[in-house]
Amino acid sequence: MIHVNGYAAQKAKAHLAPYSFQRREPSDYDVVIDIKYCGICHTDIHQVGDEWGGSQFPMVPGHEITGIVLQVGPKVSRYKTGDKVGVGCFVDSCRKCEPCRKNLEQYCTGGMTTTYNGFEQDRKTPTQGGYSNKIVVDENYVLRIPDNLPLDKTAPLLCAGITLYSPLVHWGAGPGKKVAIIGLGGIGHMGVKIAHALGAEVTVLSHSLKKQEDGKKLGADFFYATSDDTTFEKLKGYFDLIINTVSAEIDWNKYLELLKLDGAMVVVGIPEKEIPVGSFSLVAGRRSIAGSLIGGIKETQEMLDFCSKNGITSEIELIPIQKVNEAYKRVLNSDVRYRFVIDIKSLEQK
């Protein structure tokens, strides 16, 4: 077994604190990764808070992992010691179902193995995430980090980057398309950068105008405050695609009105409570509302290569792990510019 140090929540809503545990001895196809950085996703906060139900404790969160390969099993062919690698939101899947065969493991009907707060494919061994110094992952679920991308600013691409890249590409964001991103947080700011690089016209819809200057620097063409009701008048019927990243309950009907004929609003934010949608918001303008979950391994690698070519990384605030609880509070107050990333070497500090 491999001894690992990390930070865990012992029960729902508990503060995270030092925690040591064991990971499996690497099998033939496993890669052992020396974790260098791990991003803090809002999902970590939802799950530590058991907001979606079914959370398991102790929980070591973290699914925006980058590091260096420490050791590989004898049959590993894709990675070697010293390689720059990443791990995202899942570390295994059934490998047999239709989505798995289509490289869409995130929709595995057998149930993917989430990086933490999940179970291995044996359905009994719990998984633990990247707020820790080592992880053991099958090589098929490991990503290669391109040489020109730094490990700290790239960590958030493993969840935030792919969560926005996948729907932007699937719904055809590109030249001539008007795209809105609701919420300029961790995943939203990656959406602005990626949609801009894909060639779409990008608008940010944020609570207030506080982040306006940043939004423009990130690549937004326009920026509006949703606290101002005239925004909804001005933008009625304007967008082809709206990506909704908001982690809290907002009135989706108001935003659906901003879509033009055949426009789609894709929900990626996952608030705790359900949100009602009226038929009129959809039937008028043949609009659709859809959802999207992260991305498969193949597409995640494609996203990393796209970001490498376009020089895209995340805007981060690097913190020692001892500040994780404070960082959670700041994320909840929308006070993050734009992703907290934990420097894992801080685990060695007492």
Task: Name the site residues for ligand NAP (rule: CB under 6 A).
Answer: 41-43, 46, 159, 163, 183-188, 206-207, 211, 245-248, 250, 268-270, 292-294, 331, 334, 336
Q: Which residues bind Zn ion (CB under 5 A)?
A: 41, 43, 93-94, 97, 100, 108, 110, 159
Among Zn ion, ligand NAP, none, the one that 270 touches (CB under a kind-dependent 5 to 8 A) is ligand NAP
Q: How far is the CB of 192 from ligand NAP (least distance, A)?
A: 10
CA dist 246 and 45 (Å) reads 14
Among Zn ion, ligand NAP, none, the one that 268 touches (CB under a kind-dependent 5 to 8 A) is ligand NAP
Backbone region of residue 299 per phi and psi (left: phi > 0; alpha: psi in -120 to 50; beta: other values): alpha
Structure tokens at 42: 């809002």
Taking the least distance from each CB to Zn ion, the nearer of 72 and 336 is 336
Among ligand NAP, Zn ion, none, the one that 169 touches (CB under a kind-dependent 5 to 8 A) is none
3-state SS, residue 311: coil
Question: Sign of dihedral through CA atoms 89, 155, 343, 134?
Answer: positive
Taking the least distance from each CB to ligand NAP, the nearer of 149 and 268 is 268
Among Zn ion, ligand NAP, none, the one that 211 touches (CB under a kind-dependent 5 to 8 A) is ligand NAP
Among Zn ion, ligand NAP, none, the one that 321 touches (CB under a kind-dependent 5 to 8 A) is none
Exposure b/e, 54-82, CB count within 10 A at least 16 = b: ebeebbbbbbbbbbebbbbbeebeebeee
Residue type, 321: I
Q: How far is the CB of 259 from ligand NAP (least distance, A)?
A: 18
Q: How far is the CB of 141 from ligand NAP (least distance, A)?
A: 16
CA dist 185 and 334 (Å) reads 7
Among ligand NAP, Zn ion, none, the one that 297 touches (CB under a kind-dependent 5 to 8 A) is none
Residue 201 forms beta bridges with which residues?
178
Taking the least distance from each CB to ligand NAP, the nearer of 129 and 186 is 186
Is residue 50 within 8 A of residue 149, CB to CB? The reply is no
Q: Which of 33, 105, 114 is nearest to 72 (CA)?
A: 33
Q: How far is the CB of 86 from ligand NAP (least distance, A)?
A: 15
For residue 159, the tally of other CB atoms under 10 A from its CB is 28
Please identify the residue of the shown chain whose CB is closest to the bound ligand NAP: 185
For residue 243, the tally of other CB atoms under 10 A from its CB is 28
Q: How far is the CB of 334 from ligand NAP (least distance, A)?
A: 4
Q: Which of 166, 172, 165 is nearest to 192 (CA)?
A: 165
Is residue 65 within 8 A of residue 38, CB to CB? The reply is yes
Farthest CA pair distance, the chain: 62
Taking the least distance from each CB to Zn ion, the nearer of 93 and 206 is 93
Taking the least distance from each CB to ligand NAP, the nearer of 40 and 100 is 40
Among ligand NAP, Zn ion, none, the one that 42 touches (CB under a kind-dependent 5 to 8 A) is ligand NAP
3-state SS, residue 133: coil
Taking the least distance from each CB to ligand NAP, the nearer of 142 and 162 is 162
Taking the least distance from each CB to ligand NAP, the nearer of 42 and 177 is 42
Residue 173 C-beta-side C-alpha neighbours within 13 Å = 31
Q: How far is the CB of 190 from ligand NAP (least distance, A)?
A: 8
Among ligand NAP, Zn ion, none, the one that 108 touches (CB under a kind-dependent 5 to 8 A) is Zn ion
Q: How far is the CB of 101 from Zn ion (least distance, A)?
A: 8
Q: How far is the CB of 250 from ligand NAP (least distance, A)?
A: 5
CA dist 10 and 94 (Å) reads 29
